[in-house]
Chains A and B, each alone.
Chain A
């Protein structure tokens, strides 16, 4: 059915093309231009909800532009990456070589994104990363054709380091999973916190995805730090915050986290999260008109409230549009697109941002506090924070 429909549509388009072509040769040449976007995101598994939100955000922007980006009709090839790094190279290669996509967009899981970046570098395909925060992607592995619309692990954690020091805490214990994202978050926090005169008394790590926190809570209770900084996400974040509260520690030792601790997890925490402060490049009640318009349109289209992931998908599409605009309807030229994206100013729902030399957003990091079911905005923790892009030679 679908093939027939497509064939019919192609035939019709061809017919229209022929008719138009005889009449208006120039206009017809432009109407035929298409851009193939390969969406490689998780649609099953732990991160399925994130992959869906990113896709929705991306399509939301394309829809706002009348189904086109910079005058190019958008055609999607979609692959479920299952957040499985072992299948990542194959999946990305399939999109590039079999489906001949012009642009790769993906993904959530940092391990998968690292493999995608390698494929993108080898095949010189344009890549926009709408979430994965591994510092390397815009650090040692940065490339002229690799862009990120989200953040680096370092950014929100670094901003929190300064805040925790400013709030008068001198002595902090950190807890995280022992994998690169967690370690990079702790490193970012430590850098800013110790620069401001604080001291990280102990870094506690547990193997991913272990969630038996009780031994660490006992250790925290006996170390008696001024505050605790953690990185966890998803189910682990919910469990940590609940356990921390149930152990009675929340009353005496305030808990701070890097962004994702309280994103999409507040309801499941059932009140234990109340008052926890986190830093991220998005918050639930920003007052800029762009965000308000975005939230309204998104809720209307998808019958769901947008989250930071939807924003990152939306901005990936905006970045691509800026690049495509520079071609003025001509043939797709990835070098020209990449060059134009580098200097783009993106009017994001999170607030406008530009891109660093290594292609990571230079953006405001917000301090948020859990109130009820929202991450309420407290203020700007760091204005226009740029990732240091250590190891990037570009």
Chain B
């Protein structure tokens, strides 16, 4: 590998890592902070991607679609929380697994009924459709760089929300002791509904932003589910910075694994996970 290729691979790793953080960010909130084992995370991602496809077909503009899609996903999340998840906080984890697994099947079936099983593409917004030449024959799509910037902004925003605001303080307190928070006069139901809805909106945003580069296809949700859990667990459950660092570590491991150890590429991510968890069983960053 020459030096230029090496630098480009580093860029690929960073970019992929940031994309993974984006994909996992919703799960950081719902699983990491609220403690719900949410297997339907991938489905929310898929809902976002299909929302981007449907809204873009209507409006012809991805950015507008995202602006419309985020509130829709937020409301959708709030309704789900009210109807289903709010009954599960005090129940066993197994019941959360059952419910969220059921949701995967339901969303997949609904998707099939509503949109069919074809693969669809979403156009990259005109504004970002250019490419930057990197070497004599390789160029880099601007849209991927834009996504990276959005991811960084999102990581900063989430960190600020959870660690520095009063709302974040209440969320963290609620995850430790619901009853005590309630006793202090905080409406924990509204608080949790908001956080859950935010998690769903983030997962959907990831789907919407990724739609132009990943395309939109059946089963796309399950492809991000496992890697999202890996990132949240490696990073240290509940830590926003941890998730970011973990996503970047996975980005590097996957990219360089593919290039340097192609036979082990499929294992690379899980090897990294095993090593990190042996080294720090609680994840890279301990629970915030």
Give residues in A with beta carbon < 8 Å to B. 44-49, 178, 204-207, 209-212, 214-219, 221-222, 224, 234-235, 237-239, 242-243, 246-249, 251-253, 264-265, 267-270
Pick from B1, B16, B108, B133: contact of A214, CB below 8 A. Answer: B16
Q: Are B12 and A45 in contact (CB under 8 A)?
A: no
- Which of B59-67, B80-88, B254-262 faces chain A? B254-262
Q: Are A267 and B121 in contact (CB under 8 A)?
A: yes
A44-B109, A212-B16, A218-B12 as given contacts; A269 in contact with B121, CB under 8 Å? yes
Report chain B residues within 8 Å CB of A246: 131, 139, 141
Report how far A215 CA is from B10 CA in the complex, Å: 9
Interface centre among B121, B135, B259 (most CB of A within 10 A): B121
A205-B262, A212-B254 as given contacts; A247 in contact with B15, CB under 8 Å? no
Interface residues of B in 249-283 (CB under 8 A from A): 254-256, 258-259, 262, 265-266
Q: Are A235 and B1 in contact (CB under 8 A)?
A: no
* Smallest beta-carbon distance B188→chain A, Å: 39
Q: Are B119 and A222 in contact (CB under 8 A)?
A: no
* Smallest beta-carbon distance A251→chain B, Å: 8
Report how far A335 CA is from B137 CA in the complex, Å: 59
Residue of B nearest to A224 (CB): B137
Report how far A44 CA is from B219 CA in the complex, Å: 10
Q: Are A243 and B213 in contact (CB under 8 A)?
A: yes
Report how far A249 CA is from B139 CA in the complex, Å: 8
Q: Give the dominant DSSP class at A's interface.
A: helix
Q: Are A270 and B137 in contact (CB under 8 A)?
A: no
Report how far A49 CA is from B120 CA in the complex, Å: 13
Pick from A211, A221, A234: contact of B138, CB below 8 A. Answer: A221
B126 interfacial contact with A, CB 8 Å? no
Q: List 27 A-B contacts (CB under 8 A).
A: A45-B218, A45-B219, A46-B117, A48-B112, A48-B218, A49-B116, A178-B265, A205-B265, A206-B262, A207-B266, A212-B255, A214-B16, A218-B9, A219-B259, A222-B2, A222-B135, A224-B137, A239-B213, A239-B215, A246-B141, A247-B131, A247-B141, A248-B137, A249-B137, A267-B121, A268-B118, A268-B121
Report how far A235 CA is from B222 CA in the complex, Å: 13
Report how far A157 CA is from B27 CA in the complex, Å: 42
B50-83 near A? 1/0 per residue, CB < 8 Å: 0000000000000000000000000000000000
Report how far A217 CA is from B16 CA in the complex, Å: 14
* Smallest beta-carbon distance B115→chain A, Å: 11
B107 interfacial contact with A, CB 8 Å? no
Report how far A172 CA is from B195 CA in the complex, Å: 51
Report how far A178 CA is from B112 CA in the complex, Å: 28
Report how far A238 CA is from B214 CA in the complex, Å: 8
Residue of A nearest to B214 (CB): A239
Residue of A nearest to B123 (CB): A270
Report chain A residues within 8 Å CB of B120: 267-268
Q: Are A216 and B138 in contact (CB under 8 A)?
A: no
Q: Are B112 and A248 in contact (CB under 8 A)?
A: no
